[in-house]
Amino acid sequence: MARGKKIYEGKAKTLYEGPEPGTLIQYFKDDATAFNAEKKAIVDGKGVLNNRLSEFFMEGLNSIGVPNHFIKRLNMREQLIRQCEIVPLEVIVRNYAAGSMSKRLGIEEGTQLPRPIIEFSYKDDDLGDPLVPEEYIIAFGWASQQEMDDIVALALRVNDYLSGVMYGVGIKLIDFKIEIGRVFEGDFMRLIVADEISPDSCRLWDIESGQKLDKDVFRRDLGNLTDAYTEVARRLGVLPTNGPAAANSVIN
Ligand code: TMP
């Protein structure tokens, strides 16, 4: 499919104009970054895996009626998505303490939380995506109270879906981040899940061994990131036919 003009380039993905108004093409790069891009690498095959994995999760969410931006996968690295206005928040859901929560509160990583906890970061790389209370979000007009209620409901549905799917393949969903977009239909606005859902934006631990199968492998130098993501894809049955390495050689 002919690709339109570049609309936006992020750390792990690039967005191009889509074939029809209201659509975009999302291209998954092999770039891995951590700590607000202080640490960077090219990880061969990561983009191919994340394209497949995000397709798998978004299609699953579609099938249970959780609205999201995914339309269809175009090739190994690209998918057609609905254009939306991104709410400038990172919506984080935690089932077990880890990462910044463990650091902030001194809770051992892997401690089960009394219930899923949702938190919000304001999306601004220059500020390092600071954690913000809901009161800031409403007061500064980043989202309305009604939208926040809808965002919480969406995030909890995504959490139930993802936790169940991962549990079914022997993986514990520790936490994840999603982004939400607004789509306008006539006079109507609704919220959809946008961006991506992949091991870049989740913490995934093997239930038996506790082995990390997510971007912490890169953040903390724990081994080969492609191997970890390939294992997640293999368990979910979504490996590209010839494997990520082969896939790399046939993409644009
Ligand atoms: P944190 O413990 O570092 O705050 O991360 C919480 C979750 O959010 C974890 O699954 C990783 C994900 N995440 C992103 O997707 N992007 C980010 O920029 C950060 C900091 C975390």
Separation of 193 CA from ligand 1 center, angstroms? 16
Pair (156, 232) in one structural domain: no
pLDDT of residue 243: 52
CA distance 24 to 77: 14
In this prediction, residues 167-194 reach a mean pLDDT of 97
Q: How many domains does the chain have?
A: 2
Pair (94, 147) in one structural domain: yes
Question: What is the pTM assigned to this prediction?
Answer: 0.95
pLDDT band at 2 (very low <50, low <70, confident <90, very high): low
The torsion region of residue 222 among left (phi > 0), alpha (psi -120 to 50) and beta comes to: alpha
Pair (187, 159) in one structural domain: yes
- State if residue 81 touches ligand 1 by the CB under 6 angstroms criterion: no
Pair (30, 73) in one structural domain: yes
Residue 105 resides in a domain? yes
Percentage of the residues of the chain whose pLDDT score is greater than 70: 94
Q: What is the domain-level CATH number for residue 165?
A: 3.30.470.20
Pair (133, 67) in one structural domain: no
pLDDT of 209-229, one tens digit each?
Answer: 999 999 999 999 999 999 999
245/60: higher pLDDT:
60
Pair (170, 74) in one structural domain: no
Residue 251 resides in a domain? no
pLDDT of residue 55: 98
pLDDT band at 1 (very low <50, low <70, confident <90, very high): low
Rg, C-alpha atoms of the chain: 18
pLDDT of 14-39, one tens digit each?
Answer: 999 999 999 999 999 999 999 999 99
Pair (114, 159) in one structural domain: yes
Q: Supply the range of the domain harboring residue 89.
A: 85-206
Question: Beta strand pairing status for 89-96 and 171-185?
Answer: antiparallel
Separation of 1 CA from ligand 1 center, angstroms? 33
CA distance 126 to 138: 21
- State if residue 100 touches ligand 1 by the CB under 6 angstroms criterion: yes
Residue 211 resides in a domain? no
Pair (77, 147) in one structural domain: no
pLDDT of 140-163, one tens digit each?
Answer: 999 999 999 999 999 999 999 999
Residue 246 resides in a domain? no
Residue 127 resides in a domain? yes
Residue 195 resides in a domain? yes
CA distance 125 to 187: 32
Residue 216 resides in a domain? no
pLDDT of residue 245: 53
pLDDT band at 3 (very low <50, low <70, confident <90, very high): confident
Pair (108, 52) in one structural domain: no
Residues contacting 235, CB < 8 A, separation 6+:
169, 170, 171
- The closest of 162, 195, 168 to 179, measured between CA atoms, is 195
Is residue 252 scored above 60 in pLDDT?
no
Is residue 66 scored above 90 in pLDDT?
yes
Pair (191, 92) in one structural domain: yes
